[in-house]
Amino acid sequence: MVVSTSSFVLCPGPAEHPARMGLPALALLLAVRLLSTQASPSPRSFQVDYERNCFLKDGVPFRYISGSIHYARVPRPAWRDRLLKMHMSGLSTVQVYVPWNYHETLPGVYDFAGNRDVEAFLDLTAELGLLVILRPGPYICAEWEMGGLPAWLLWKPDIILRSSDPAYLAAVDSWLHVLLPKIKPHLYQHGGNIISVQVENEYGSYYACDYGYLRHLLGSFRALLGSEVLLFTTDSTRAEELRCGTLQGLYATIDFGPGSNVTELFDAQRRVEPKGPLVNSEYYTGWLDYWGEAHASTSAAWVAQGLEDILQLGASVNMYMFHGGTNFAYWSGADYKDQYKPVTTSYDYDAPLSEAGDPTEKLFAIRMVISKFQPLPVGPMPPATPKYAYGWVALRKYADLLDVLDVLCPSGPIQSQFPLTFEAIKQAHGFVLYRTQLPQDIPDPATLSAPPHSICDRGYVMLHKEYQGMLERDGQMTLRVTGKAGDTLDMLLENMGRISFGANVSDFKGLLGNISLDSIPLNNWLIYPLAIDTAVQQGWPHAAMPKSSSRGRAGPAFYTGTFETPGIAWDTFVKFPGWSKGQLWINGFNLGRYWTHRGPQQTLFVPGSVLHVGCPNNITVLELEGAPLTPLLLFLDRPLFNRTLSHSISATE
C-alpha cells in the first residue's frame, strides 16, 4: 500500500497542536485519516508518458515483455498449461486476438461457450498474474479464415470490407456492442488485467486507406470502453503503411522480425510517434506454413539476439507467436501472393512453445535473454505434455459421398439455372456439391472447363458417379471427359480457407462462373450445401449401417474406424500413409485438413482432451481424391512436418 504523506500534517498549525488536543482525540484523528487513505487507494492506470518515453502503470514506468497466444487455436483444457508456461518463461503479458467469425457465426447469433468463452480465458490469465493486450479487430488477419471477418458479410456481394461502407459499419457496430461490454470489466482501470486494446490490425497494408473508417472505430471503442483505456494501432515499418494505418488518438506501434537493424526500424515508429514508448507489437519468432511449401523455421539464436537488441533499447515487445496452436476444423486462412496460398492446419509457427505446447530450445534461449533484464518467476518450467503412440488403426470404407447426400443435405438441393457461390446459398465453410446432366452424348473426349479464378478452391469431378479428377484454383482448370446424354455430372467444391490478408479479403467460394463443355455453358444445376459436421457430431456414420459400394477407392468417400486408449488419453499425432487429401474427425471433433501429397505437414495434432478412456474412439475420415488399398492410420508420439511434394516421401517411422 502506498500512503500519501499529504494526509498528515508534519508541521501542525494552531488548530491541530497536540498541546490543545488530548491524546485520545489525536489518535482518533490519525486513525480516521489512515482509514480514509486505505479506502481510497491510488486509481489503477495504464498510460503513455510522452516526457519519459515509456508506459506508466499506476504512475510507475513500465515495460512489458509479451507473447501471443490464440485461445481459438488451443483446446480449452490446455489453456492453463500454455499460459503457465508463458508466465514461467518470464512474460509479464500475453497478446490475444478475438476472431469475430468465431463468435458471431450468423448475423445476431453469438457463441461464447466452451472453447469460445473469451471471458473465462481472460479470467485465467488474471489468475496466473498475466496482463493482457487485447486485439478485438474487427479485422485481425492472424492467418485465420477471412482474417476473422464473418463470411456472412459477403451475403451482400458488393460490400466493401474494412471501410466506411454503411453495410459493413452497421455489422461492425452491432458486433462491438456485444463484445466490448464483455471486455470493459476486464480493463486494467476497472480492476482487470487488459492494459491496452488494438483498433483494427495492420490497416496500412489494406488498399482502402479510409481514415473515416478508423475514426468511426475510434469513436466506437471510446464510447464502449471509456476514455481511459490505451488504444493503439500496429503496422509494418513501411512509410506508406504507417501513413494509412495510424490516426491521432491511437498510439502507433510497429512490427518486425529478427535479423534487422532494430534502431533503424524503430526510427520508423518515431516518424509517426516522436514521443512515447518504443513498441514492437509483433516480433516474429517464426513463420506460418503454406500447403506445398517447406516448413518454416527461424533459428533460436537469431530470435534471441533480436529480442535482446529490442530490450536493450528499453522497448516493449510482443513475440508473435509464443504459442501458435492449431487451425482446427475449417479455420485456417490463406494468402494471395501471385497465387492462392492456403495455410496448413498446424499453426506451430516454429514458436517457442510448439503446436502441442511443449517448451523448445527457442523458448529457453528467449528465457535466458529475459533474465538479463528482469527476474524470472521462481520455480521450474512445466514439462512437455505426455504423448502416446497409439499405433496403427485399420479403417474401412463406409460410403462414397454421392451415396449419402440424403444425410449430408437433409433439406434437399437448391435449383438454379447456373452455379451459385457458397455465400449465395449461405454456406460458410466446408463443402458444396454441384450437380447437372450432360446435354448430349460425348463419344469423343470433350473439354470440361472453368473460367479463370472461378474454382474456389478445389473441385472434385465425378461423371456417372465415377471420379474423373480435380480442378484447382490457380491450377488445373480443364478435364477431358466422355459420356452419354443424361449422365450425372457432379462437382464437389471445397473451401480451403478465405484469404486473410491484403486486398482480396472478399474471397467468395464455390463455383464463381459457368462450367462449360467444349465452350458450351452447362445449366440446370442442383446445388447441395453439405452439413457434414452436423451429421458427424450427431454420431454419423458410426451409428449407421455401412453402405454397399461397388466403386473403388478413387473420389470423395467416408472411412470409419475405432481405437481404444490403454487407460490414458494423452496427446498424439496421426499420420495418413498413402492417403491423399481430406478431413479428419475423432469423436465428432473436427481436427482439420490433411494433405499428405502436398505437405509439408504430414501429421495432425490430436489433443488428449478429445479422446475417450474406457470406450472406443470413433474415427471418421473424408478422403477426397483416393484412399490407399489398405486404409490405415498411424498414431505417433511426435509430429512430422517437413515433407512436401518435391521432397522424398520415404517413411521415417
Q: Count of CB atoms within 10 A of residue 181's CB? A: 11
Three-state secondary structure of 210-225: CHHHHHHHHHHHHHHH
Total structural domains in the chain? Answer: 3
CB 131 within 8 A of CB 169: no
Q: What is the mean pLDDT of each run of 10 residues along the chain (653 residues)?
A: 30 33 44 40 87 98 98 98 98 98 98 98 98 98 98 98 98 98 98 98 97 98 98 98 98 97 98 98 98 96 98 98 98 95 98 98 98 96 97 97 97 98 98 98 96 96 97 95 97 98 90 96 98 97 76 90 95 98 98 97 98 97 97 97 50 29
Are 483 and 569 within one domain? Answer: no
At residue 570, the pLDDT reads: 98
At residue 14, the pLDDT reads: 30
Are 83 and 155 within one domain? Answer: yes
At residue 41, the pLDDT reads: 46
At residue 380, the pLDDT reads: 93
Are 304 and 431 within one domain? Answer: no
Q: Which residues of 423-445 are buried (b: 16+ CB within 10 A; e: fewer)?
A: bbbebbbbbbbbbbebeeebeee
Cis peptide before 541 (omega within 30 of 0): yes
φ/ψ region of 339 (left if φ > 0, alpha if ψ in -120 to 50, else beta) reads: beta
Are 233 and 138 within one domain? Answer: yes
Domain end point (choices 508, 530, 552): 530
**Count of residues making up the chain:** 653
Is the whole model's pTM more than 0.85, yes or no? yes
Are 228 and 101 within one domain? Answer: yes
Asked if residue 403 belongs to a domain, the reply is: no
Nearest one of 646, 644, 653 to 289, comparing CA atoms:
644
Asked if residue 604 belongs to a domain, the reply is: yes
Q: What domain range is 184 assigned to?
A: 46-372
Are 468 and 543 within one domain? Answer: no
Are 141 and 275 within one domain? Answer: yes
Q: Which residues of 497-519 are buried (b: 16+ CB within 10 A; e: fewer)?
A: bbbbbeeebbbbbbbbbbbbbee
CA distance 629 to 353: 37
Asked if residue 614 belongs to a domain, the reply is: yes
Q: What is the CATH number of the domain that holds 299?
A: 3.20.20.80
Are 339 and 423 within one domain? Answer: no
DSSP count for the chain of H helices, then E strands: 12, 36
Cis peptide before 600 (omega within 30 of 0): yes
Model pLDDT for residues 584-596, shown as the tens digit of each residue: 999 999 999 999 9
At residue 648, the pLDDT reads: 33
Are 430 and 322 within one domain? Answer: no
Question: Using the 8-state DSSP alphabet, how is residue 424 labeled?
Answer: G
Asked if residue 616 belongs to a domain, the reply is: yes
Nearest one of 620, 418, 630, 443 to 510, comparing CA atoms:
418
Asked if residue 404 belongs to a domain, the reply is: no
At residue 548, the pLDDT reads: 64
Are 97 and 242 within one domain? Answer: yes
Asked if residue 378 belongs to a domain, the reply is: no
Asked if residue 191 belongs to a domain, the reply is: yes
At residue 29, the pLDDT reads: 41
| The dihedral sign for the CA sequence 463, 469, 474, 477 | negative
At residue 544, the pLDDT reads: 80
Three-state secondary structure of 451-487: CCCCEECEEEEEECCEEEEEEECCCCCEEEEEECCCC
Beta bridge partners of 516: 449, 521
Asked if residue 160 belongs to a domain, the reply is: yes
Active-site residues: which are they? 202, 282
- Half-sphere exposure for 439 (CA within 13 Å, toward CB): 13
CB 72 within 8 A of CB 323: no
Are 513 and 548 within one domain? Answer: no
Are 357 and 453 within one domain? Answer: no
Q: What are phi and psi of 589, to 5 degrees?
A: -90, 125
Q: What is the CATH number of the domain that holds 462?
A: 2.60.120.260
Nearest one of 464, 440, 452 to 517, comparing CA atoms:
440
CB 104 within 8 A of CB 176: no
